[in-house]
Amino acid sequence: MRLKDKVILITGSYTGIGKAIAQSCLREGAKVILNGLDHEAGLALYTEIGPEKSSMCTLDITQEGAPEKLVGLAVEKFGSLDAVVNNAALIASSNILDTDSKLFHEVLGVNLVAPMAIIRKALPALKKSKGCVLNIGSINAWGGEPNLLAYSISKGALMTLTRNLGDSLFREFGVRVNQINPGWVLTENEKLKKKEQGMKADWYRDIPDIFAPAKRIFTPEEIAAAALFLLSDESGPVSAQVMDLEQFPMIGRNLPKNWEGSHQS
């Protein structure tokens, strides 16, 4: 097993990409600390996994003392901590006209400040285990969309944090730090959000190839497969790297000749 007996803390793991990463880690022999805000969803997942291989902590990662609670739970329950997956995120639609200071700080708090705080608190344990950190970013880190201003900025900053710590922490302590930037992923929340926006229930079955050359978008399990590589010893000394998981180049994309304009679904 690729993650046998490793203890992994995964924020935002009650649903979506985080849940898929947790389930993949478990299949590879890991023990997981689950976290999220939807307590019922978390309890269902925890009940499915069982107390021998998991523990759960329902809390907002920005609240005071959250990093201490999460890291403390891992060490108290399983005696060590081998990896942190910073997956929890706040996705808020906003542009330059409606991104006020309050919203901006809220988005940065969840997507940047809290992950850094968790890394700081986890560092003593990760130093002992020569562990690693995996940050889940977004392809929006490269510029983003006009209506995802605050979110895009936060993910760009997270990418800089990853490259900076991936170098300094690996050199000094042997702790690797990497990041995955997913493209468009078919999570349950994404299905619901698009339906609420007026799209048909099975909108994801008919996606124009301008947005997805494969005519489908990623599954959470496909993101989790990449996460397993970066969390496992198979990735060796890989650190300070950002893996873009998208179907087309983020820079220098060749658009169809009949494509006029540019927009993101």
The mean pLDDT value for 145-151 works out to 95
Task: Note if 46 is an active site residue.
Answer: no
Residue 96 lies in a domain: yes
Residues 136, 198 within the same domain: no
User: Is residue 233 situated within a structural domain?
Assistant: yes
Q: How many domains does the chain have?
A: 2
Q: Please report the pLDDT score of residue 110 as a whole number.
A: 98
Contacts made by residues 200-209, CB under 8 angstroms, sequence distance 24+ = 207/265, 208/265
Q: Does 202 have pLDDT greater than 70? A: yes
Q: What is the 3-state secondary structure (H, E, C) of the chain?
A: CCCCCCEEEECCCCCHHHHHHHHHHHHCCCEEEEEECCHHHHHHHHHHHCCCCEEEEECCCCCCCHHHHHHHHHHHHHCCCCEEEECCCCCCCECCCCCCHHHHHHHHHHHHHHHHHHHHHHHHHHHHHCCEEEEECCHHHHCCCCCEHHHHHHHHHHHHHHHHHHHHHHHHHCCEEEEEEECCECCHHHHHHHHHCCCCCCHHHCCCCCCCCCCCCECHHHHHHHHHHHHCHHHCCCCCCEEEECCCCCCCCCCCCCCCCCCCC
pLDDT digits (tens, 9 = 90+) for 78-136: 999 999 999 999 999 999 999 999 999 999 999 999 999 999 999 999 999 999 999 99
- Co-location of 106 and 204 in the same domain: no
* Same domain assignment for residues 121 and 194: no
pLDDT number for residue 195: 79
Residue 73 lies in a domain: yes
* Same-domain pairing of 28 and 124: yes
Could you tell me if 200 and 213 lie in one domain? yes
What domain range is 199 assigned to? 185-217
Residues 203 and 158 in one domain: no
> Are 127 and 228 within one domain?
yes
**Nearest partner of 140 among 173, 205, 94, 103, judged by Cα:** 94
Tell me which of 256 and 75 has the higher pLDDT: 75
Whether 265 shows a pLDDT value over 50: the answer reads no
> 3 pLDDT exceeds 80?
yes
> Between 141 and 262, where is the model more confident?
141
CATH of the domain at 178: 3.40.50.720
Is 264 inside a domain boundary? no
The string of pLDDT tens digits covering residues 169-180 is: 999 999 999 999
Same domain for 46 and 167:
yes
Question: Is the pLDDT assigned to residue 262 strictly greater than 60?
Answer: no
Q: Which tens digit of pLDDT belongs to each residue from 30-86?
A: 999 999 999 999 999 999 999 999 999 999 999 999 999 999 999 999 999 999 999
Residue 261 has pLDDT above 60, yes or no: no
- Distances from the Cα of 79 to the Cαs of 5, 11, 120, 144, 201, in angstroms? 11, 19, 18, 40, 45
pTM attached to this predicted model: 0.94
